Chain A
């Protein structure tokens, strides 16, 4: 288990013990790789309570104990995915690399704000990455304005609403996506992850614009139907 290990390292991996630190990083890399491959091989690992539960424990360790080992594990899982998102949405490699750092620093600094009743951890990280990218884009288009877009700050959690655990909803969605016709799932990925207008998407897919819009709505309606089947 990682907890003893992390207790030791939380004291601070600095102090010139590079050998120890590199061995530590290497062991994390190995675990990160294992996690990636096992979730591909074994769908049961994707249950809330699989990697989600571990990562959830890690974000708590970061929030409560400023635990760097737990943070490194979060980095192992999320940083390559966030980078993949940023690359796909059009950021050049060096920009994506810098934004990943910004996203992960925000994860470190805001860990105490993460509320599992409001969002699954992946959802929370996604929203941070999405907002950082928008901020970066706006910095570029008007560099004189220092604006962290308040319109993208999440509104407070609904009150008195029936709270289905957010991670369960996210996991339901993830599974439902697998049951969509491939062209609908692909369209959702394009919509979320590619910086293209509806028209450009239509051109790329060789479809009329109206078909793209209706297919997108169909995909969402279908997801909703599948989710209701789950819940």
Chain B
């Protein structure tokens, strides 16, 4: 059964429609923060929401809704908070307090992983750091794996991804992401099913990637 592959454009549309679970939404928001050219498309999809909202049949409000609302209005205003400076793109800073170095990194060879505190039983959300030139163990996926590059670049035999790019791997992809160039590669990765290791060290490495 061929399921159609998800594209970045599908993700933008679903994010604009408010349909993405929190970890996946975080990947897309990070992508938008790092890839300004994509914001125009995203805003069009939000505008589609605005246009659809206008044409919804108005619902009847409860008795006295406006009066109750007017009674609650005061002079306070909400300021748009300027994003504080940080090592990470703004959407990630809510989940990574303090310094990247202080995260609970687990190291394995040239790969390090730090789980992010997104309480969700369905998704595993992590920062992954690939040492320059090093590779993640070869694996396939039970489900989707979304990876957005925060720093550096990697290739996985299928494509090359640089800052802001989203790599989408699904059950059909057997890949081995490897950092490109002489820089470490830092990524945010979300997976929705256990990875299946396919390389010859898989039995040995599995505890690292186990859910």
Which residue numbers of A lie inside 8 Å of B, CB to CB? 13, 21, 25, 36, 66, 68, 71-72, 75-76, 79-85, 87-88, 93, 96-97, 100-101, 104-106, 108-113, 118-127, 129-131, 133-134, 138, 142, 145, 147, 149-155, 157-159, 161, 166, 169-171, 173-174, 177, 188-189, 191-193, 209-210, 213-214, 216-217, 220, 223, 227
Contact = CB atoms under 8 A, between A and B. Distances in A.
B18 A169 contact: no
B17 A191 contact: yes
Contact of B69 (A36, A105, A124, A142): A105
A174 B93 contact: no
Contacts of A193: 52, 56
Contacts of A217: 9-10
Given A81-B58, A84-B57, 18 more contacts: A71-B70, A80-B59, A84-B58, A88-B56, A97-B62, A101-B65, A105-B69, A108-B73, A109-B77, A125-B53, A127-B46, A131-B18, A151-B28, A151-B30, A155-B32, A158-B37, A158-B39, A169-B43
A81 B53 CA distance: 6
B180 to A, nearest CB: 26
Contacts of B69: 75, 79, 101, 104-105
A173 B45 CA distance: 9
**Interface size range on B against A:** 35 or more
Contact of A109 (B66, B68, B78): B78
Contacts of B101: none
Given A71-B73, A149-B25, A151-B91, A110 B53 contact: no
B4 interface: yes
A25 B68 CA distance: 12
B80 to A, nearest CB: 5
B54 A151 contact: no
A138 B22 contact: yes
Contacts, number: 191
Contact of B49 (A21, A101, A123): A123
Contacts of A133: 18
Contacts of B49: 123, 126-127, 130, 192
Interface in B33-89: 33, 36-37, 39-40, 43-44, 46-62, 65-70, 72-73, 75-78, 80
A145 B46 contact: no
A44 B134 CA distance: 61
Contacts of A72: 66, 70
7 contacts: A80-B60, A81-B59, A121-B50, A152-B25, A161-B40, A166-B47, A170-B51
A126 B102 CA distance: 38
Contacts of B72: 101, 105
Contacts of A108: 73
Point out which of B26, B37, B52 has the most chain A C-beta atoms below 10 A from its C-beta. Answer: B52
B43 A119 contact: yes
Contact of A169 (B26, B44, B52): B44
B168 interface: no
